[in-house]
Amino acid sequence: MRKIILLGYMGCGKSTIAKTLSKIIRVPFVDLDEYIEEKAGLSINAIFEQHGEIKFRKMEHAAFVDLLNAPGDVIIGLGGGAPCYANNHELLHGKNVLSVYLKASIETLFNRLVANKSKRPLIANKNEEEMKEFIAMHLFERSYYYNQAQHIVSVDEKTVDETVLDILAILA
Ligand SMILES: Nc1ncnc2c1ncn2[C@@H]1O[C@H](COP(=O)(O)OP(=O)(O)OP(=O)(O)O)[C@@H](O)[C@H]1O
Ligand SMILES: O=C(O)C1=C[C@@H](O)[C@@H](O)[C@H](O)C1
Ligand SMILES: [Mg+2]
Query: How do the pLDDT tens digits run along the chain, 172 residues long?
Result: 899 999 999 999 999 999 999 999 999 999 999 999 999 999 998 999 999 999 999 999 999 999 999 999 999 999 999 999 999 999 999 989 999 999 999 999 999 998 888 778 788 889 999 999 999 999 999 999 999 999 999 999 999 999 999 999 999 9
How much of the chain is in helix, strand and coil states, percent to nearest 5? 55, 15, 30
Q: Would 127 be classed as within a structural domain?
A: yes
Atom of ligand 1 nearest to the CA of 162: 1
Q: Would 169 be classed as within a structural domain?
A: no
Task: Say what the ipTM of the complex is.
Answer: 0.94
- Phi, psi dihedrals of residue 102, rounded to the nearest 5°: -90, 100
Q: Total structural domains in the chain?
A: 1
Q: Would 168 be classed as within a structural domain?
A: no
d(CA 122, CA 101): 20
Q: Would 166 be classed as within a structural domain?
A: no
4 backbone φψ class: left, alpha, beta (φ>0; ψ -120 to 50): beta
Q: Would 112 be classed as within a structural domain?
A: yes
Query: What pTM did the predictor assign?
Result: 0.95
- What digits encode the pLDDT tens for the residues 132-156? 999 999 999 999 999 999 999 999 9
State if residue 80 touches ligand 2 by the CB under 6 angstroms criterion.
yes
Q: Tell whether residue 105 is among the known ligand binding residues.
A: no
The domain that holds 35 is classified in CATH as 3.40.50.300
| Cα(172) to centroid(ligand 2), Å | 30
What residue owns the CA closest to ligand 2's atom 9? 79
Residue 84 lies in domain: 3-161
Q: Would 157 be classed as within a structural domain?
A: yes
Q: Would 171 be classed as within a structural domain?
A: no
Q: Would 110 be classed as within a structural domain?
A: yes
Q: What's the Cα-to-Cα distance from 153 to each of 11, 14, 168, rounded to whole Å?
A: 15, 11, 11
Quote the crossing angle between the two packed helices 44-51 and 53-69, to the nearest 10°.
130
d(CA 87, CA 153): 22
pLDDT at 120: 82
Cα-to-chain-centroid distance, residue 138:
14
